[in-house]
Amino acid sequence: MKPKKENSDKRIKKREPVKTSNDKWVLRLYVAGQSPKALTAFANLKKICEEQLEGKYSIEVIDLLINPQLGNEDQILALPTLVRKLPVPVRKIIGDLSDTERVLVGLDLLPVS
């Protein structure tokens, strides 16, 4: 039996998302107004979703300046915060989502390296 040849090219630009029984990803982005951090977080999230989830997602942006009570359900303590509602389990990521690898690991789209 021959040993398997490992792929020596570590520069994989696009990785396949984790396959789930529910193909739809439901994401909530909690922000406070249209601050630069909030706008950056939304742009980064949109880019990651387009590249990794290819239309199998929905993003709900919740502005806590307009509806502060909506943060209670997900226990939001800092902003911006991304909450992955589906697929379960729920996951949270705080910040402007500029560290793409951290976001992918946090959303469980990439294994921890």
pLDDT digits (tens, 9 = 90+) for 22-44: 579 999 999 999 999 999 999 99
- Does this model's pTM top 0.85? no
In a domain, 78, yes or no: yes
**Hey, which residues does 83 pair with through a beta bridge?**
28, 92
Host H or E run for residue 45: helix 36-52
3-state SS class at 84:
strand
Strand (E) positions, 3-108?
25-31, 57-63, 81-86, 91-94
- Contact between residue 38 and residue 95 where contact means Cβ atoms under 8 Å apart: no
pLDDT of residue 7: 45
Res 13 pLDDT > 50? no
In a domain, 59, yes or no: yes
In a domain, 49, yes or no: yes
Please give the tally of structural domains in the chain: 1
In a domain, 18, yes or no: no
Give the domain extent around 69: 25-106
3-state secondary structure 54-78: CCCEEEEEEECCCCHHHHCCCCCCC
CATH number for the domain harbouring residue 83: 3.40.30.10
Q: Residues, the chain, total?
A: 113
